[in-house]
């Protein structure tokens, strides 16, 4: 069954910045390219970190107006303030950087973003080289597929392909990405399998399974 990979939705070529670049240069690149984060490279062109809008905005938000907040702030706050006072990307960027393989599925990338609480993931190939960047918005592209496209894939990949069933015996309806399955399969053990396979089709939001079975497990 065809599954959309990160390489299919990532932004490439990716805009990068050197770690010795200034704060202003980073802001200019982000705004000029209308992007939310930019990978940071070291002298050997290896990925050293990532500078996001949040990282750069912290400079404005955390630099105190007076000395008093710095004197009485907790250690973590003081460290954040010191970081925010820098004008170099190397001090402002987030490290270590969380990356995703270009061969990863969108589900795997989404889990990485969720677990890591990040909005962007630099994309690397099998050698570890930077080949792109993927955002939360990129991962949602599959859900823009039309109902007709989704239905065609469910019939072709699940009904005819995985189940080798007659499409006239299983009815597939799709409304705003929600797939409703009705009809009859040979054995009741197949019903949860059909649901699982249908959920894996690109663009499926949810599955309503109304299938019945000719044979029921004892």
- Domain spans, the chain: 6-142, 145-215
- Backbone phi, psi, residue 108, to 5°: -65, -40
- Residue 76 CB contacts under 8 Å (≥ 6 apart), including other chains: none
The residue whose two tokens read 């400079």 is: 59
Q: Mean pLDDT throughout 85-105?
A: 88
Judged by average pLDDT, the poorest of 12-21, 68-77, 162-171 is: 68-77
What span, in angstroms and rounded, lies between the C-alpha atoms of 79 and 74? 9
Report domain 145-215's class: alpha beta
C-beta atoms surrounding 207 within 10 Å: 17
Q: What is the pLDDT of residue 40?
A: 96
Q: Is the pLDDT of residue 71 over 80?
A: no
Q: Is the pLDDT of residue 62 over 90?
A: no
Angle made by CA atoms 23, 120, 77, in degrees to the nearest 5: 55
Q: Mean pLDDT throughout 94-119?
A: 93
Pick the CATH number of 6-142 from 3.40.50.280, 3.40.50.2020, 3.10.580.10, 3.30.420.10: 3.10.580.10
What span, in angstroms and rounded, lies between the C-alpha atoms of 175 and 166? 22
Angle made by CA atoms 94, 99, 100, in degrees to the nearest 5: 155
Q: Is the pTM of this model over 0.75?
A: no
Query: 67 falls in which pLDDT band (50, 70, 90)?
Result: very low
For 122, the enclosing helix (H) or strand (E) is strand 120-124
Dig out the tokens for 78 from the structure. 């003081």
Q: What is the pLDDT of residue 212?
A: 92
Q: What is the pLDDT of residue 22?
A: 93
């Amino acid at each position: 069954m065809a599954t959309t990979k990160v390489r299919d939705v990532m932004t490439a070529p990716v805009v990068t910045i050197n770690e010795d670049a200034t704060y202003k240069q980073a802001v200019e690149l982000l705004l000029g390219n209308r992007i939310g984060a930019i990978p940071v490279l070291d002298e050997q062109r290896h990925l050293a970190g990532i500078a996001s809008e949040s990282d750069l905005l912290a400079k404005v938000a955390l630099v105190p107006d007076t000395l008093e907040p710095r004197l009485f702030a907790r250690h973590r706050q003081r460290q954040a303030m010191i970081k925010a006072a820098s004008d170099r990307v190397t001090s402002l960027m987030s490290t270590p950087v969380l990356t995703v393989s270009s061969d990863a599925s969108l589900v795997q990338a989404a889990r990485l973003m969720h677990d890591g609480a990040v909005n962007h993931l630099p994309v690397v190939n099998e050698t570890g080289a930077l080949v792109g960047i993927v955002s939360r918005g990129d991962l949602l592209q599959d859900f823009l597929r039309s109902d007709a496209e989704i239905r065609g894939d469910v019939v072709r990949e699940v009904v005819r392909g995985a189940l080798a069933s007659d499409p006239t015996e299983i009815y597939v309806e799709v409304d705003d990405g929600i797939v409703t399955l009705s009809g009859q399969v040979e054995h009741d053990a197949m019903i949860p399998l059909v649901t699982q396979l249908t959920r894996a089709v690109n663009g499926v939001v949810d599955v309503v399974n109304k299938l019945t079975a000719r044979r029921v497990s004892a």
